[in-house]
Amino acid sequence: MKLRQVVGIPLALVLVLGLGTVPAFAQEKGQTLLNVSYDPTRELYQDYNAAFAKHWKEKTGQNVSMQQSHGGSSKQARAVIDGLEADVVTLALAYDIDAIAEKAKLLPMDWQGRLPNNSAPYTSTIVFLVRKGNPKGIKDWDDLVKPGVEVITPNPKTSGAARWNYLAAWGYAVKKLGADEAKAKEFVGALYKNVPVLDSGARGATTTFIERGIGDVLINWENEILLSAQGNDQFEMVVPSLSIVAEPSVAMVDKNAKRHGTLETAKAYLEYLYSDEGQDIVAKHYFRPFSAAVGAKYAQQFATLELFRLEEQFGNWQLVQKTHFDDKGVFDQIYQPR
Partner 1 sequence: MRSLRMWSLVMAAVSSGVWGAPLAYAQDEARIQKLEQKLESLDQELRIVKRQLENERESATNKAKETAVVVASKDGFALQSADKNFQLKVKGYIQADGRFFAGNEPANSTFLSRRVRPIIDGVLYKDYEFRLMPDFGNGTTALVDAYIDANYWKELKFRVGKFKAPVGLERLQSVTDDPFVEFGMPVNLYPNRDTGAQVSGDLFDNSVSYALGIFNGTTDAGSTDLDTDDDKDLAFRVFAQPFKQVGIEPLEGLGVGVATTYGHREGTPSSYRTPGQQNFFSYRSDTFNDGVHKRIVPQAAYYWGPLGVLAEYANTSQKLKRGGVTDNVDAWSWQIATSYILTGEDNSYKGIKIRHPFSLQEGTWGAAEAVARFSSLWVDGDVLDTFANPTTAANRADEFTVGLNWHLNKNVKWMTDYSHTSFNRGDINGDRDNENVIIARLQLVY
| 278 sits near partner 1 (criterion: CB under 8 A) | no
State the sign of the Cα–Cα–Cα–Cα dihedral 299, 300, 301, 303.
Answer: positive
Using the contact rule CB under 8 A, the part of the chain among 24-32, 208-216, 229-237, 246-254 near partner 1 is 208-216
Q: Which of 133, 147, 213, 231 binds partner 1 (CB under 8 A)?
A: 213
CA 144 to CA 146: how far, in whole Å? 6
Residues 6+ apart with CB under 8 A from 38: 70, 71, 72, 73, 76, 90, 91, 92, 160, 161, 248
Residues 6+ apart with CB under 8 A from 236: 129, 130, 131, 132, 133, 134, 229
| 328 sits near partner 1 (criterion: CB under 8 A) | no
| 208 sits near partner 1 (criterion: CB under 8 A) | yes
| 196 sits near partner 1 (criterion: CB under 8 A) | yes
Provide the β-strand partners of residue 67. 34
**What is the largest distance, in Å, between two alpha-carbon atoms of the chain?**
89
CA 83 to chain centre: 20
Using the contact rule CB under 8 A, the part of the chain among 195-203, 223-231, 236-244, 264-272 near partner 1 is 195-203
Q: Which of 197, 219, 245, 330 binds partner 1 (CB under 8 A)?
A: 197
**Which of 144, 152, 135 is closest to 207 using CA atoms?**
152
Is 80 or 252 the residue whose CB approaches partner 1 more closely?
Answer: 80
Q: Which of 121, 160, 204, 278 binds partner 1 (CB under 8 A)?
A: 204
Distances, alpha carbon 244 to alpha carbons 268, 270, 312, in Å = 29, 24, 10
Using the contact rule CB under 8 A, the part of the chain among 53-61, 207-215, 269-277, 308-316 near partner 1 is 207-215
Is 1 or 109 the residue whose CB approaches partner 1 more closely?
Answer: 1
Residues in the interface with partner 1 (CB under 8 A) total 16
| 229 sits near partner 1 (criterion: CB under 8 A) | no
Q: What is the DSSP letter of 208?
A: I
| 190 sits near partner 1 (criterion: CB under 8 A) | no
CA 325 to CA 320: how far, in whole Å? 7
Map residues 135-164 to x or -, x wherever contact with partner 1 holds by CB under 8 A.
---------------x--------------
| 50 sits near partner 1 (criterion: CB under 8 A) | no
Map residues 1-20 to x or -, x wherever contact with partner 1 holds by CB under 8 A.
xxx--xx-------------
User: How big is the chain by its Cα radius of gyration, in Å?
Assistant: 23
**Residues within the interface to partner 1 (CB under 8 A):** 1-3, 6-7, 150, 196-200, 204, 208, 212-214
